[in-house]
Structure 1
Amino acid sequence: MREIVSLARDLIRFDTTSSERAAAEYVAERLAGAGFDPVYLEPEPGRGNVIVRLEGEDPGRGALLVHGHLDVVPADAADWSVPPFEGEIRDGYLWGRGAIDMKHMVAMSLAVATRFKRDGVRPPRDVVFAFLADEENGGINGAGWLVEHHPELFDGVTEAISEVGGFSYTVRDGVRAYLVETAEKGAMWLRLKVRGTAGHGSMVHTDSAVAKLVAALTRLERHRFPVTLTPPVREFLEGVAELTGVPFDPDDPEAAVARLGSLSRMIGATLRDTANATMLRAGDTPNVVPWAAEATVDGRMLPGRERAFERELAAVLGPGVEMDFDTLPPVQTTFDGRLVDAMADAVAAEDPGSRLLPYMLSAGTDAKSFQRLGIRHFGFAPLRLPPELDFTALFHGVDERVTLDGLEFGERVLERLLRTC
């Protein structure tokens, strides 16, 4: 079994739903065995982070951060075709929770870092490798905590790569584009509360907190935020148009997105802000109308839309809905520079005739924390995917898996990139 497959399989076998310690210790041991002196930090018991720095030929150049998170979202084994934490190999795939979100990139980074250290390879500039906790919860015990309490670990870092990008999209037969994340929507997690009049469930009620909250959420569900064509989305759709020969009409971007197949789910969500109710809570017993009802809403807004999004939400929800929220900012950079050129060269060496395209991620990553240090971020975790695979459905989905060929391809591309970055 190839080392990269073995590493990814080992990592999947650690259930890191609520604790990364075992996986982090495994990573630290591998790094130490190659000659690194890993920094291991736990903001809270069990939430492990590992950081090492590989010295480059020119320490005066800005360093590159390569980061990946060790934690995963829960997986109910009853829903899966295979046990989600056994790392089963079947039909040319490695199956398991975290296979693409994002233990494949963790394995690739670990493989390249240890090989470079053992072989005495010095990349063009310093490379910081960070294996992080708690990304799925906003990095409270991972990237966010490290940026707040140990920014010195990232001294001199000017650019970073991580999830979600570098994966292929088959535009037409034999022609692949590799998507590089240059932007991601901001996040606003809202806590809504509506108050009403409590009373016996058998009576007639005209001031029900539950009914008022449901009405507000129904208005939100039916509302559509305005289509806003941002630079990375425009660049992506124009690039696809060039590769397919199908013209792109900037006045009707939704038509272009509709032609993207399964990718339209993710790209479509970057045409506008979104807000989806995710949690509800009201009452303690079936025969009491409660005095209050609460809901949680996952809001995502485009860069530059933060204030407008907040105002529009308040208007749609209406009076009487108390609104409290936490936010994580959008991320955005331009698609240019020496690092982008190195990405393109590394991919082209393994997949001649392919092309890199920028895009915006509808979700969020640890880039939101690292941008506080002025670090320019790109989503680039390289994978060549079979055209029939619905890749975006695997994120937090059932039967998450990654092709063995894709893992090996990604490792080769990452190694090429870090030798030339």
Structure 2
Amino acid sequence: MADSTVDSPAEGTVGADVVALCADLIRFDTTNRGGGDAEGERDAAEYVAQFLERQGVPAKIVESAPGRANVLARIPGTDPSLPGLLVQGHLDVVPADAADWSVPPFSGEVRDGFLWGRGAVDMKDFCAMVLTAVASGLRPRRDLVLAFVADEEDKGDFGAHWLVEAHPEFFEGCAASISESGGYTYHVPAADGRTVRLYPVGTAERGTAHLRLTARGRAGHGSRPNDENAVTMLVGALQRIAAHRWPVRLTPTVRAFLERTGEALGVPVDLSSGEAVDATVARLGPAGSLVVPTVRNSTTPTMLSAGYKVNVIPSTATAQVDVRVLPGAEDELFAELDGLLGPGVTREFVAHQPPVQAPVDSPWFDAMAAALRAEDPDAVVVPYCMGGGTDAKAFTKLGMACYGFAPLWLPPGFPYRAMAHGVDERVPVEGLRFGTRVLKRFLESC
């Protein structure tokens, strides 16, 4: 397919093309550099709000700080006795260096059957699918609350977490939520030579705990012996943490993923021990890569800081550790971690967002699976646990069951997991259209 552009749907009043909508959203540079340094969120929010208004859906923009804009709307369902569903996505994106890209990262260009640009899969594609479903004359059974938020790519302090703390009334009556990341095609080989199309739906997330470790010792001259050297105390703690092999811990989501994926692929599944689980994951081949980060907790040292002069032993040394913890495992992880620190080293939270766990077997999950199978009868829909985190960590505080369901059809070999935050981020045009059909079917039937 030759290079092309897509017409903007901005002036339309009824109906919309998801590719054009997504391209429009990509063209808003909503780069979030973190620490409150962001741009473009207000412009994108105004575009979304105006689009919803043209579809007859009243929308409200609320700012947590100047320019940090969030869009909220509610679509009444035909059955007011049913609990509501939150449909939430973020409008901000991570930075992109144009020098590294094949196309300008905020061009929204269509090339070779793909829509290119920062945010194409994380997650302006989902936002565009939601808007397109609304424009198609969406008639849900239950109330839908729509939230297009700021600041997900940092801490959510200006977006979802702020909304939950400052305006929980917006989400009253919502029993569940959908957002990134799940419902996409994953082509995997079966034991008998078939290719199975897995569609992992997120039913859990590991928790995020960013820790600052501080070692306190005795300052002194670098030429003299010092058995209270803060640097060596800290390095010792980090070495123990890095070398520690966390045991296998199977959550309901991960257990179901292994059992159901193994059955679909014709692969023996043995979950009787940690070694057996590791062997099962290996036998799953490419599908096993989806679960490798989530059969264990993880503690990864990432930052170090100490000293100001080479011949001076400092009195303190600090490090940061990225800790990811499975649902139900926080108490035991931190107890074990404290034992690894050793004397003279303390920890504190830089950020702390607990794990998320939604029911695997639920009417919500069943409705997502049915919507996918309606468009792809051979779809094998399985639950999975996300290794990272999303704004579900905010909305779960309100008692919602939070799912990762942003459906997409992906061609074999497409490196989807490398797209988010990667160079040359892009999404298949036909994948967007497939996802819109699935999403609309789910929103009307759930």
Same fold (TM over 0.5): yes
Letter of the 1:86 partner, please give it.
S
Query: Matches of residues 192-231 of structure 1 in structure 2 within 5 Å?
Result: 192-199=213-220, 206-231=227-252
Aligned residue in 2 for 1:403:
428
Superimposed CA distance per residue, residues 325-375 of structure 1 (whole angstroms, 9 cap, x where no aligned partner): 142111112223333222122111211121211111111111111111111
Aligned residue in 2 for 1:414:
439
> Which residue of 58, 62, 73 maps to 1:37?
58
Q: Residue 267 of structure 2 contacts residue 284 of structure 2 at CA under 8 Å; is this kept in 1?
A: no
Distance 1:174-1:149 versus aligned 2 partners, 3 A rule: same
How far, CA to CA, are the matches of 1:201 and 1:79 in structure 2? 43
> Which residue of 35, 53, 71 maps to 2:74?
53
Q: Residue 252 of structure 2 contacts residue 360 of structure 2 at CA under 8 Å; is this kept in 1?
A: no
Note if 1:315 corresponds to 2:332: no
Superimposed CA distance per residue, residues 166-193 of structure 1 (whole angstroms, 9 cap, x where no aligned partner): 1121133442121111111111111111
Query: Matches of residues 179-198 of structure 1 in structure 2 within 5 Å?
Result: 179-198=200-219
Note if 1:71 corresponds to 2:89: no
Letter of the 2:20 partner, please give it.
S
How far, CA to CA, are the matches of 2:166 and 2:377 in structure 1? 44
Q: Residue 234 of structure 2 contacts residue 345 of structure 2 at CA under 8 Å; is this kept in 1?
A: yes
How far, CA to CA, are the matches of 2:128 and 2:323 in structure 1? 32
Note if 1:304 corresponds to 2:328: yes
Note if 1:379 corresponds to 2:400: no
Deviation of 1:276 (Å):
1.2
Note if 1:278 corresponds to 2:305: no
Note if 1:165 corresponds to 2:186: no
Secondary structure of the residue aligned to 2:291 is helix
Aligned residue in 2 for 1:9:
23
Superimposed CA distance per residue, residues 23-47 of structure 1 (whole angstroms, 9 cap, x where no aligned partner): 1122112112222221111111221
Letter of the 2:323 partner, please give it.
G
Aligned residue in 2 for 1:254:
278
> Which residue of 345, 362, 374 maps to 1:337?
362
How far, CA to CA, are the matches of 2:233 and 2:423 in structure 1? 35
Note if 1:93 corresponds to 2:110: no
Q: Residue 229 of structure 1 contacts residue 253 of structure 1 at CA under 8 Å; is this kept in 2?
A: no
Deviation of 1:161 (Å):
0.8
Distance 1:264-1:401 versus aligned 2 partners, 3 A rule: farther
Q: Residue 167 of structure 1 contacts residue 384 of structure 1 at CA under 8 Å; is this kept in 2?
A: yes
TM-score by length of 2: 0.88
Letter of the 1:350 partner, please give it.
E
How far, CA to CA, are the matches of 2:433 and 2:352 in structure 1? 37
> Which residue of 173, 178, 182 maps to 1:156?
173
Q: Residue 262 of structure 1 contacts residue 392 of structure 1 at CA under 8 Å; is this kept in 2?
A: no
> Which residue of 147, 159, 162 maps to 1:130?
147
Deviation of 1:381 (Å):
0.3
**Structure 1: 5+ residue stretches without partners:** none
Aligned residue in 1 for 2:11:
none
Q: Residue 217 of structure 2 contacts residue 344 of structure 2 at CA under 8 Å; is this kept in 1?
A: no
How far, CA to CA, are the matches of 2:222 and 2:406 in structure 1? 54
Letter of the 2:341 partner, please give it.
L
Letter of the 1:87 partner, please give it.
G
Letter of the 1:106 partner, please give it.
C
Higher mean C-alpha displacement, 214-223 vs 284-293: 284-293
Q: Residue 34 of structure 1 contacts residue 115 of structure 1 at CA under 8 Å; is this kept in 2?
A: no
How far, CA to CA, are the matches of 1:204 and 1:88 in structure 2? 63
Higher mean C-alpha displacement, 208-217 vs 49-58: 208-217
Secondary structure of the residue aligned to 2:136 is helix
Higher mean C-alpha displacement, 152-161 vs 76-85: 76-85
Distance 1:313-1:353 versus aligned 2 partners, 3 A rule: same
How far, CA to CA, are the matches of 2:219 and 2:105 in structure 1? 44
Secondary structure of the residue aligned to 2:169 is helix
Higher mean C-alpha displacement, 401-410 vs 195-204: 195-204
Q: Residue 171 of structure 1 contacts residue 240 of structure 1 at CA under 8 Å; is this kept in 2?
A: no
Distance 1:319-1:157 versus aligned 2 partners, 3 A rule: same
Aligned residue in 1 for 2:12:
none
Higher mean C-alpha displacement, 125-134 vs 252-261: 252-261
How far, CA to CA, are the matches of 2:318 and 2:285 in structure 1? 36
Note if 1:328 corresponds to 2:328: no
> Which residue of 281, 293, 316 maps to 1:269?
293
How far, CA to CA, are the matches of 2:309 and 2:108 in structure 1? 43
How far, CA to CA, are the matches of 1:21 and 1:145 in structure 2? 16
How far, CA to CA, are the matches of 1:332 and 1:382 in structure 2? 20
Aligned residue in 1 for 2:261:
240
Deviation of 1:263 (Å):
4.9
How far, CA to CA, are the matches of 1:310 and 1:249 in structure 2? 29
The alignment's C-alpha RMSD in Å is: 2.0
Higher mean C-alpha displacement, 166-175 vs 290-299: 166-175
Letter of the 1:300 partner, please give it.
R
- Give aligned-pair identity as a percent: 53
Aligned residue in 1 for 2:3:
none
Aligned residue in 1 for 2:371:
346
How far, CA to CA, are the matches of 2:104 and 2:239 in structure 1? 37
How far, CA to CA, are the matches of 1:416 and 1:164 in structure 2? 18
